Structure 1
Amino acid sequence: MRILAICGSLRARSSNLAALQAARRLAPAGMDIVVFDGLAGLPYFNPDIDTDTPPVSVKALREAVGAANGLLVCSPEYARGVAGVMKNALDWLVSSSEFPDKPVAVINASQRATDADAALRLTLTTMSARLVEDASITLPLLGRNLDAEGIVADPDLSAQLRGALETFAAAIGHG
């Protein structure tokens, strides 16, 4: 089972990226989590260039989504909204055939980021994602300055993340 992890932060030491990297280490047997690293290279969404031959970076995103059995999304909240790079990536997927009915789990890396989490979920369901609510969790990472190893080493955080991934795998396996 191939899971594409998409981080909505471009920061090298992002807690969102750390959560996805920890998920890679905690994934159940048979689940391969690949972190997509091309968000920074996507052009601003423009329907005029969303043609039969989209930009190479857009094609790479769509192919990665198409090759995945599910998506794991973790994105920060900026000014009470979804991060611009995440929304831009989703805009490029709106008209693609690869995204509809794709199983998606959302990891929220901040217990205070409720507005963006709700907006992200609304956008995903509007785009016809199969949002797996039981696998979508909030990890209380705000103010903890943990990297992936720190998340994996924390018994509560790792148990919560491992449980979400097992639930996600089961949902995809029975979908």
Structure 2
Amino acid sequence: MKFLAISGSARRASTNTAMLYALQPAAGSTYAVSIYDRVGELPVFSPDLEENPPREVAALARAIADADGLILASPEYIRSIPGGLKNAIDWLVSRNEVIGKPIVLAHASHRGDDMLQQLRVVLATLSDRFNEQLFLRLHLMKLSPDEVAAYLSEPRHQEEMRRFLDAFANYCAAA
């Protein structure tokens, strides 16, 4: 089973992005987890470009089409969804690749509930397969990507992430 993990952060040293990369060793050989960490490279959404989207948007759409499910992780900016992630979602709204695609959330902080609630509303609108109950939350705020990797490499955290991936795989398979 193939998952695409999308980071909603444009920051190079993003805790959420580092958490998504830590899912790869937890996946082992059972699952393939690809990371999309380039929301900051997407052009600003314009309906005028939807018929012939920019190559960055087309590449994201192909990656989504190739995945069995999407895992989104995002920081909170001013109690809201970061502009880069919202822009990426805007590019997907009228595309077929995301229709019916299983989607879950992961979050690398103990805060951010306002953003998460907004994101849940948006994702439930985007896909009827958004699973609000299946959620991975790890308290990693203020850690560097190297510290996140070291912390999440501990067996107990690898097991927690593996259980999350297993539950998501089961959800994806239950079409």
Query: Structure 1 length normalisation: TM-score?
Result: 0.91
Q: Relative to 1, partners in 2 of residues 1:54 and 1:144: Cα closer, same or farther, differing over 3 Å?
A: closer
Alpha-carbon distance in 1 for matches of 2:150, 2:84? 26
Alpha-carbon distance in 2 for matches of 1:88, 1:171? 27
2:21 aligns to what?
21
1:62 aligns to what?
61
Of 34-43 and 68-77, more deviation after overlay is shown by 34-43
2:174 aligns to what?
174
Cα shift at 1:143: 3.5
2:160 aligns to what?
160
Aligned residues between the structures: 173
1:147 equivalenced with 2:156 (yes/no)? no
Fraction of identical pairs, as percent: 36
1:33 aligns to what?
33
Gaps (5+ residues) in structure 2?
A: none
2:49 aligns to what?
49
SS for the counterpart of 2:153 is helix
Cα shift at 1:141: 1.3
SS for the counterpart of 2:33 is strand
Query: Structure 2 length normalisation: TM-score?
Result: 0.91
2:129 aligns to what?
130
Q: Relative to 1, partners in 2 of residues 1:20 and 1:69: Cα closer, same or farther, differing over 3 Å?
A: same
